[in-house]
């Protein structure tokens, strides 16, 4: 006979409330020793909980402070529960009855008990009561990305309302607002649009207009989420980030990959040394825009301007800022249709980014380390799964973070959550990350310009 009966339960416990506490008290009453697993941010996001406002640290602290809790652990993946049952020799797994049936598989390891949930209170309700609704306006009618996809994904983010759109194209605007079930107000005057009650904008226009649209929005005190690249010329991004700081608003680059659960897990694993010391990062992104319905002017921005932010994100996040960059470009109509970008980083580490709009290639990524490598299958920028492989193939691991939709919801959730929490920087994509990523295409544009000038002089 065991001396003490161990109970375990799990949850997010965002904005700890009476419903949580009552459940924990009753769980403890089932035995002698209560272990509480608090879900971490990344796991929550991967299981669709996008709107959690408190950090893992804060939530763990709140649970630790409860007198009836004996031990707090952090839950990082779906498979952890079964492992914990064995590890802690658990007698009872207790959880609210909103989960009835979902954890029956754990009966193989322990006794599963569903406890009645407290009616009338929830974190969702508290968040709605405690945080203002964020009104967001869209700028541009889906040039680089489908406007409707953004709206569909935004529905998964709470406390966010999108009901206005700006476009210079009056006819397209009229057609869009007529059809849309959410956006009823169309503006063809940007100043008037900024003068409304919106607090934030999402910009998706022709690349050369990003800088001007961002600048005006920041000056009007609006938070900005903008498609890539944020700026095409030297010093512009730094100026915009300085302006955002001065206006105390958020400026975030819409690099959706940076906010995906699998991508963040990958960075964590690399930081923990899963493949030893990283020596090289290779990533490819190609897209034949000509086969889609894109205007010539968009194509004329060239492969580097249109696409390099994605591989640069991977390279910069893992290897840090680039020290010197070599470009091997191809193109014949004044802009590049392919560019192999090789960058050198601290410690002699190498980044290899390949972008193309005029040829097709495998869009995968490989990160090589002293002990092994990570392989992210195509399309790596929609990171769902990655493989960690070693010389000894038996040691290989697969990390799987499948997600629904096109992945935009994680980015939109981060943007809106930062605004709600009064934060002006994202840890997932810092201002310095944004500057490092932008630098690659700025260098390329600068060199092209010099080349062009010297040719003219000849
Ligand atoms: N709960 C409750 N009454 C409420 C709200 C929540 O009894 N009004 C319970 C839930 O049933 C759950 C616990 O409090 O047992 C934590 O709830 P959440 O923070 O919402 O976490 P949840 O998503 O249910 O975590 O691994 C995570 C768990 O599988 C589930």
pLDDT tens per residue, range 234-257:
999 999 999 999 999 999 999 999
Q: How far is the CA of 32 from the centre of ligand 1 (A)?
A: 21
Indicate the pTM of the whole model. 0.92
Place of tokens 């038996």: 394
**Angstrom distance (rounded) from CA 201 to CA 165:** 9
Residue 102 CA, closest ligand 1 atom number: 29
Q: How far is the CA of 262 from the centre of ligand 1 (A)?
A: 24
In sequence order, which residues have a C-beta less than 8 Å from that of residue 59 and are 6 or more positions away?
12, 13, 14, 16, 38
What mean pLDDT is predicted for residues 74-82?
95
The answer to whether the beta carbons of residues 93 and 111 sit under 8 Å apart is: yes
What value does the mean pLDDT take over residues 416-429? Answer: 94
Average pLDDT over residues 164-177: 92
Mean pLDDT for the stretch of residues 134-154:
85
What confidence tens digit (pLDDT) does each residue in 183-209 have? 989 999 999 999 999 999 999 998 999
What is the distance between the alpha carbons of residues 408 and 417, in angstroms, rounded to a whole number?
A: 14
Q: What is the pLDDT of residues 346-355, one digit of tens each?
A: 999 999 999 9
The whole-angstrom separation of Cα 30 and Cα 155 is 39
- Give 139 Cα–ligand 1 centroid separation in angstroms: 38
Separation of alpha carbons 396 and 257, rounded Å: 24
Residue showing tokens 């959730």: 413
| Long-range contacts of the stretch 39-45 (C-beta < 8 A, 24+) | 39/10, 39/11, 39/12, 39/74, 39/75, 40/74, 40/75, 40/76, 42/76, 42/261, 42/264, 42/265, 42/268, 43/75, 43/76, 43/77, 43/78, 43/261, 44/12, 45/261, 45/410, 45/413
Q: What is the CA radius of gyration of the chain?
A: 25
Instruction: Determine contact, residues 122/98, Cβ cutoff 8 Å.
Output: no
Cis amide bond preceding 308, omega within 30: no
Give the nearest ligand 1 atom to 94 CA: 15
User: Does the CB atom of residue 118 touch ligand 1 within 6 A?
Assistant: yes
Pocket test residue of 15, 20, 93 for ligand 1, highest count of atoms within 8 A of CB: 20
CA of 405 to the centre of ligand 1 (A): 25
Length of the chain: 458
User: How far is ligand 1, taken at its centre, from the CA of residue 385, in Å?
Assistant: 27
Residue 438 Cα to ligand 1 midpoint, Å, equals: 42
In angstroms, rounded to a whole number, what is the distance separating the alpha carbons of residues 94 and 9? 5
Ligand 1: residue whose CA is nearest its atom 4:
19
Contacts of 360 (CB under 8 A, 6+ apart): 286, 288
| pLDDT band for position 148 (cuts 50, 70, 90) | confident
**pLDDT score at 144:** 47
DSSP 8-state code for residue 221 = T
Q: What are phi and psi of 428, to 5 degrees?
A: -75, -25
The CA distance from 428 to 322, in Å, is: 19
Place of tokens 């009872």: 92
**Contact between residue 386 and residue 262 where contact means Cβ atoms under 8 Å apart:** yes
CB atoms within 10 A of CB 414: 23
Ligand 1 centroid distance, CA of 98 (Å): 8
Rounded CA gap, 378 and 451, in Å? Answer: 34
Q: Is the pLDDT of residue 99 over 80?
A: yes
Q: Establish whether residue 121 lines the binding site of ligand 1, counting it when its CB lies within 6 angstroms of any ligand atom.
A: yes
Mutation choice for ligand 1 from 117, 122, 123, CB with most ligand atoms inside 8 A: 117
Ligand 1: distance of its center to the CA of 20 in Å?
Answer: 7
Q: What angle do CA 280, 282, 283 make, to 5 degrees?
A: 155
Of all protein residues, whose CA lies closest to atom 16 belonging to ligand 1?
Answer: 11
Q: Where do we find the tokens 């796991």?
A: 43
- Site to substitute for ligand 1 among 98, 112, 158, most atoms within 8 A of C-beta: 98
User: 452: part of which helix (H) or strand (E)?
Assistant: helix 431-457
Neighbouring C-beta atoms of residue 108, cutoff 10 Å: 9
Q: If you take atom 17 of ligand 1, which residue's CA is the nearest one?
A: 11
pLDDT at 42 over 60: yes
What structural domains and CATH numbers belong to the chain? 6-125 (3.40.50.620), 132-255 (3.40.50.720), 261-402 (3.30.360.10)
CB of residue 439 inside a 6 A radius of ligand 1: no
Per-residue pLDDT, averaged over 61-69, amounts to: 97
Residue 178 is encoded by which pair of tokens?
A: 């007529």
Residue 72 CA to ligand 1 center (angstroms) comes to 15
Question: Ligand 1: which of 15, 22, 34, 95 to mutate, most ligand atoms within 8 Å of CB?
Answer: 95
Quick one: which atom of ligand 1 is closest to the CA of 9?
Answer: 15
């Amino acid at each position: 006979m065991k001396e003490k009966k161990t109970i375990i339960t799990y949850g997010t416990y965002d904005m700890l409330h009476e419903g949580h506490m009552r459940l924990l008290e009753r769980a403890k009453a089932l035995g002698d020793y209560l272990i509480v697993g608090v879900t971490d941010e990344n796991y929550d996001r991967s299981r669709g909980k996008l709107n959690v406002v408190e950090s893992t640290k804060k939530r763990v602290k709140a649970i630790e402070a409860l007198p009836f809790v004996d031990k707090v652990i952090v839950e990082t993946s779906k498979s952890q529960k079964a492992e914990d049952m064995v590890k802690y020799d658990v007698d009872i797994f207790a959880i609210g009855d909103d989960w009835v049936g979902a954890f029956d598989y754990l009966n193989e390891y322990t006794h599963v008990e569903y406890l009645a949930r407290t009616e009338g209170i929830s974190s969702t309700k508290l968040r709605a009561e405690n945080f203002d609704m964020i009104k967001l306006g869209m700028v541009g009618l889906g040039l680089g990305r489908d406007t409707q996809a953004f709206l569909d994904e935004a529905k998964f983010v709470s406390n966010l309302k999108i009901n206005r759109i700006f476009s210079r194209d009056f006819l397209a605007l009229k057609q869009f607002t007529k059809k849309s079930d959410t956006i009823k107000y169309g503006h063809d005057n940007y100043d008037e649009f900024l003068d409304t009650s919106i607090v934030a904008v999402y910009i998706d226009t022709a690349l050369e207009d990003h800088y001007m649209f961002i600048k005006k929005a920041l000056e009007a005190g609006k938070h900005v989420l903008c498609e890539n690249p944020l700026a095409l010329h030297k010093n512009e991004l730094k100026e915009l980030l300085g302006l955002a700081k001065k206006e105390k608003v958020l400026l975030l680059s819409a690099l959706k990959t940076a906010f995906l659960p699998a991508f963040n897990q990958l960075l964590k694993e690399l930081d923990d040394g899963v493949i030893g010391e990283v020596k090289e990062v290779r990533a490819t992104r190609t897209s034949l825009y000509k086969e889609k319905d894109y205007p010539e002017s968009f194509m004329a921005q060239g492969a580097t301007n249109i696409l390099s932010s994605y591989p640069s994100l991977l390279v910069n996040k893992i290897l840090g800022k680039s020290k010197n960059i070599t470009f091997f470009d191809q193109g014949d109509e004044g802009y590049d249709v392919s560019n192999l970008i090789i960058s050198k980083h601290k410690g002699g580490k190498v980044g290899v980014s390949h972008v193309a709009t005029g040829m097709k290639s495998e869009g995968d990524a490989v990160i090589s380390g002293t002990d092994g490598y990570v392989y992210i299958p195509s399309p790596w920028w929609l990171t769902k799964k990655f493989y960690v492989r070693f010389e000894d193939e038996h040691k290989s691991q697969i990390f799987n973070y499948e997600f629904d939709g096109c992945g935009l919801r994680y980015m939109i959730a981060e943007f809106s959550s930062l605004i709600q929490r009064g934060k002006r920087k994202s840890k997932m994509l810092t201002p310095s990350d944004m500057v490092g990523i932008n630098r690659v295409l700025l260098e390329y544009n600068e060199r092209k310009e010099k080349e062009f000038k010297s040719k003219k002089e000849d």
